[in-house]
């Protein structure tokens, strides 16, 4: 069913088939996940991956997270280990991304991984995106559906604001339940958090029964998500202002 925006669709069988067709053709679609809305494209297709970087204006050195339906599907592309098995059982599908070593036989496009020998994988929980992933036969490279450095979208209308008619299909899944990106954990050696998220580090430590390396302890910037400046809202954001000047956004701490 179409609504007043010709590129926002309610999910049904017809739009599922249209979306699969579009993804198979190397096109990019706007999809809801439980974290934020994403820009999804075939992770095995150079054409699709290049389009994602272009649409977002994303620096080539910032790799994309590759989304799968199941651990079995991801096993084609990455080398699994005990840590990923333990965390998968506890938190997946869900808002946790694992960085793992790439298999030599992996078909994930190298540009999507910024030519690294690792791949960041995630299993989103949102039912719409899971239905799509089950049907495609390939994983989806899917960063947040905003231009680089802008705030991540949590409603389909936010995606329209960012890309307007540049996307032919945006599937409406309502407001994202979580609203912030997945936590990213590097499991290629002793586990370390690269980007904190909604899952508490201490809960991860309890599951793995080990202490994790904290971001602060990692001197080298391993990914742009680790930089001090990550989001830039279009207007100033003031903290603890109780009068609103109409030109800025504000965060007020306390009772109002």
Sites of contact with ligand AMP (CB under 6 A): 62-65, 99, 113, 116, 118-120, 143-144, 181, 184, 194-195, 222-225
Tell me: does residue 33 bind Mg ion (CB under 5 A). Answer: no
Beta-carbon contacts of residue 2 (< 8 Å; ≥ 6 apart): 8, 9
Residue 62 interacts with which of ligand AMP, Mg ion, none, CB < 5 to 8 Å by class = ligand AMP
Rule CB under 5 A: is residue 19 a binding residue for Mg ion? no
97 binds Mg ion (CB under 5 A): no
The SS3 assignment for 169 reads: coil
**35 touching Mg ion, by CB under 5 A:** no
Q: Which residues contact 173 (CB under 8 A, 6 or more apart)?
A: 11, 31, 32, 37, 126, 128, 129, 156
Q: How far is the CB of 178 from ligand AMP (least distance, A)?
A: 12
Choose among ligand AMP, Mg ion, none what residue 191 binds, the Cβ cut-off being 5 to 8 Å by kind. Answer: none
Question: Of all residues in this chain, which one has the CB nearest to Mg ion in the complex?
Answer: 144
For the chain, state the CA radius of gyration: 18
184 binds, among Mg ion, ligand AMP, none (CB under 5 to 8 A by kind): ligand AMP
Residues 130-159 that bind Mg ion (CB under 5 A): 144
CB 242 within 8 A of CB 256: yes
Helix (H) or strand (E) holding 10: strand 8-10
Residues in contact with 148: Cβ distance below 8 Å, sequence separation at least 6, in sequence order: 56, 57, 58, 59, 62
- By a kind-dependent CB cut-off of 5 to 8 A, residue 136 interacts, out of ligand AMP, Mg ion, none, with none
């Amino acid at each position: 069913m179409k609504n007043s925006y010709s590129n926002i669709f309610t999910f049904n069988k017809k739009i599922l088939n249209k979306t699969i067709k579009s993804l198979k053709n190397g096109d990019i679609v706007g999809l809801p996940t439980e974290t934020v809305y994403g820009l999804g494209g075939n992770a095995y297709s150079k054409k699709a991956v290049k389009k994602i970087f272009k649409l977002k204006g994303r620096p080539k050195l910032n790799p994309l997270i590759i989304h799968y339906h199941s651990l079995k599907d991801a096993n084609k592309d990455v080398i699994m280990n005990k840590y990923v098995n333990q965390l998968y059982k506890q938190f997946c599908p869900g808002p946790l991304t694992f960085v793992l070593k790439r298999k030599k036989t992996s078909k994930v496009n190298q540009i999507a991984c910024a030519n690294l020998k690792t791949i960041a994988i995630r299993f989103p929980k949102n039912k719409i995106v899971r239905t799509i992933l089950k049907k495609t036969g390939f994983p989806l490279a899917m960063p947040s559906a905003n231009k680089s450095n802008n705030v991540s979208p949590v409603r389909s209308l936010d995606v329209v604001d960012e890309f307007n008619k540049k996307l032919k299909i945006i599937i409406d899944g309502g407001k994202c339940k979580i609203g912030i990106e997945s936590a990213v954990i590097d499991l290629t050696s002793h586990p370390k958090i690269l980007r904190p998220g909604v899952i508490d580090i201490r809960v991860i430590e309890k599951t793995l029964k080990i202490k994790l390396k904290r971001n602060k302890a990692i001197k080298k910037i391993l990914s742009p998500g680790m930089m001090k400046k990550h989001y830039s809202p279009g207007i100033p954001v003031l903290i603890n202002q109780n009068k609103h000047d109409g030109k800025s956004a504000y965060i007020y701490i306390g009772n109002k």
